[in-house]
Amino acid sequence: MTTQIDEPYAAIDLGSNSFHMIVAHYTDGRLQVIDRIKEMVRLASGLNEQHELSEESIQLALACLQRFGQRINEIPATNIRAVGTNTLRQARNGDFFLSRAETALNHPIEIIAGQEEARLIYQGVAHTNYDETSKRLVIDIGGGSTELIIGRGYDIFSRDSLYMGCVNMSQRFFDDGKIKAKKISKTVLFARQELESIEAIYKKTGWDVVLGASGTISAIRDVVQAQGWCENGITANALSMLVDALIAIGDSQAIAFEGLSEHRKPVFASGVAVLLGIFDALNLDRMNVSSGALREGLLFDLIGRMHNEDIRDKTIADVCQRYGIDTEQAERVKTTAACFFRQSCSEWRFNEKDDLKLLQWGALIHEIGLSIAHAQYHRHGDYLVTHSDLAGFSRQEQNKLAKLVRCHRRKFPLDEFTAIPEASRLTITRLGILLRLAVVLHRSRSNSALPEIRLEAQTNKIHLSFPADWLGSHPLTLVDLQTEQDYLQTAGFKLTFQ
């Protein structure tokens, strides 16, 4: 990885409990953190029974993001990444919130799946606590979810995201702020139930050390050590003593442990109970606490993208292998689509890096649906891409990629593009057209190289120029292009060729 000295990067984590921002320089293969900002927003507490964010919680979040936006104003946009986690995955009015949040931050915000959140957490821990020999169990209790990961070095063996966090468990079991043994027991039992499906698998995989990450576990570590119940990390005995102490206190507002912030108090008991459930389920005796977590993972992932070490490239290669994609055909389509991209880039105002990568990924996996059935395989492909766990991809990126796969053949499905933000729909439509044309020209699956084809793009027009008599000697391609004219006409684009 090429070193970039004094080039700032920023990662923003819109968590269910807190919003975090970290600003750092990447120097000599290491992150030098120059600023950290954390605000307790408790976005998850703003979700009502219909899973909609309240206006009050939205306003609190927007005010925080405006402050974050001021801090990152001088950082290049390509060096910034902002992601939302569990609560924004759950919120039914998440798109409405995102449009306002991106305006407040003045930067796009990606929603990441639970599995992707777990991957990034592990990468953050691995980069800040590098150990290439020990197998590690990493646990992160957030506001709306808990992530568990087993890995060694930078490699991950198991990763899961469970719907239990300090905020939603507090709302469920400690809504009146009272701390009772029965409530602790119910929370522990809930955690055990959530863990039940993965407990045996994790124990079979095994681990050498246990590391906790992020605010809830860090706060618990600070309290048990300040109380003198253990010297390092968190022990099972110290956790048991903390539970007894909380039950004796009996009320969240009455908690007065040294080092525990006022903002943390309402959700502290629920976080402790979730951790106790994990300790019980996995028979843990001790865990240490990592200083790195999701934010650091985001930064290293972003730096990798900037220096041609993009995990998404490996993910697409893995998908091709897993689904038995005809890679020779995929490469043919990719090459032609990229050629068309370069010829239309200026007129259609593509992003020369991001849009090209998306088109190339779409070309590589456009036939993924054939692994299910040939009939309607573009629809099967759409489903597979939409609902797969694709490491490195945000939910928005997967939706765009899925629609490229969906629209690469047959009728152009503009009515299905609602999953894509309005600002991106025209770009995805145009990328889809380039992919369709590349697919049509390689329909014979021949290894014979195509002639030089010139593509001219206008606002809603595409013209292809072939060498003289080439189409006359390829009558099937001519018919395919004529059929494509009709498909694109219904999508509002005029295709001509000669």
CATH number at residue 353: 1.10.3210.10
Q: Given pLDDT bands bounded at 50, 70 and 90, which one contains residue 29?
A: low
456 lies in some domain: no
What letter does residue 264 receive in the DSSP assignment?
A: T
- Tell me what the pLDDT averaged over the chain comes to: 95
Average pLDDT over residues 335-344: 98
> Do 439 and 365 sit in the same domain of this protein?
yes
Q: What is the pLDDT of residue 479?
A: 97
Q: How many degrees, rounded to 5, is the angle at CA 308 between CA 305 and CA 313?
A: 75
**Which of 290, 325, 355 is the last residue before a domain boundary?**
290
The H or E element that residue 166 is part of is helix 166-173
For residue 413, pLDDT beyond 70: yes
Helix axes 265-282, 181-205, angle to 10 degrees: 40
Percent of the chain with pLDDT over 90: 90
Closest CA to 93 of 35, 146, 54: 54
| Residues 45, 49, 53: CA angle, nearest 5 degrees | 50
Compute φ and ψ for 209, nearest 5 degrees.
-135, 160
pLDDT at 3: 43
pLDDT at residue 289 greater than cutoff 90: yes
pLDDT of 358 over the 70 cut: yes
Measured in degrees and rounded to the nearest 5, phi and psi for residue 229 equal: -85, -20
Instruction: Indicate whether 381 belongs to any domain.
Output: yes
pLDDT at 7 (0 to 100): 84
Q: How many CB atoms lie within 10 A of CB 480?
A: 17
Check if the beta carbon of residue 109 is closer than 8 Å to that of residue 102. yes
Q: What is the pLDDT of residue 1?
A: 42
Q: Which of 353, 358, 346 is nearest to 431 (CA)?
A: 358
CA–CA distance, 301 with 116 (Å, rounded to integer)? 11
**Is the pLDDT at 478 greater than 60, yes or no?**
yes
**87 and 148 housed in the same domain:** no
Domain-embedded: residue 440: yes
Q: Where are any strands of DSSP class E within 228-371?
A: 234-235, 286-289
Parallel, antiparallel or unpaired: strands 209-213 and 286-289:
parallel
Same domain, residue pair 362 and 421: yes
Whether the pLDDT of residue 4 is over 70: the answer is no
User: Residue 48 falls within a domain, yes or no?
Assistant: yes
Rounded Cα distance between 411 and 378, Å, is 11
Q: What's the first-to-final CA gap in the chain, in angstroms?
A: 46
User: Does 467 fall in a domain?
Assistant: no
373 and 414, same domain (yes or no) = yes
Model confidence over 221-238: pLDDT tens digits? 999 999 999 999 999 999
Q: Which of 303, 338, 361 is the last residue before a domain boundary?
A: 303
Angle at 335 between CA 332 and CA 338, to 5 degrees: 145
**pLDDT per residue as tens digits for the range 374-393:** 999 999 999 999 999 999 99
Q: What is the DSSP letter of 53?
A: B
Considering the domain architecture, whether residues 238 and 366 belong to the same structural domain is answered as no
The more confidently predicted of residues 135 and 415 is 135
Shared-domain flag, residues 262 and 152 = yes
Question: Among all chains, which residue has been given the structure tokens 């079979």?
Answer: 204
What's the pLDDT at 453?
97
Strand pairing category for 110-111 and 80-84 = parallel
pLDDT tier, 370 (very low <50, low <70, confident <90, very high otherwise) = very high
Out of 176-180, 237-241, 291-295, 404-408, pick the least confident. Answer: 291-295
Torsion over CA: 350, 353, 355, 361 (sign)? positive
Q: Is the C-alpha dihedral spanning 477, 401, 391, 202 positive or negative?
A: negative
160 lies in the same domain as 241 = yes
Residue 32 has pLDDT above 90, yes or no: no
- Mean pLDDT of all residues in 270-297: 96
The residue out of 259, 277, 303 marking a domain boundary is: 303
Give the residue-averaged pLDDT of 292-317. 92
- How much is the pLDDT for 5? 55
Residue 117: inside a domain, yes or no?
no
Contact predicate 217/141, CB 8 Å: yes
Residues 175 and 227 in one domain: yes
Mind listing the pLDDT tens digit for each residue in 85-134?
A: 999 999 999 999 999 999 999 999 999 999 999 999 999 999 988 888 99
d(CA 93, CA 438): 38
How many whole angstroms separate alpha carbon 312 and alpha carbon 390? 8
Q: Residue 466: is its pLDDT beyond 80?
A: yes
The reported pLDDT for the residue numbered 121 is: 97
Counted domains in the chain: 3
pLDDT one-digit tens code per residue, 187-207: 999 999 999 999 999 999 999
Share of the chain above pLDDT 70, in %: 98
What tokens appear for 212 in the block? Answer: 């906790």
**Residue 495 counted as domain residue:** no
Q: Are residues 85 and 36 in the same domain?
A: yes
- Per the structure, the complete domain to which residue 286 belongs is given by 130-290
**Residues 393 and 312: beta-carbon distance below 8 Å:** yes
Q: What is the pLDDT of residue 308?
A: 81
Q: Are residues 195 and 156 part of one domain?
A: yes
User: Are residues 322 and 265 part of one domain?
Assistant: no
Which run of H or of E encompasses 159? strand 155-162
Residue 12, domain CATH:
3.30.420.40
> Is 122 within the bounds of a domain?
no
Q: How confident is the model at residue 60 (pLDDT cuts 50, 70, 90)?
A: very high
Same domain as 79, residue 182:
no
Q: Kindly report the CATH number assigned to the domain that includes residue 242.
A: 3.30.420.150
Backbone φ and ψ for 32, nearest 5 degrees, come out as -110, 105
pLDDT for 42:
87
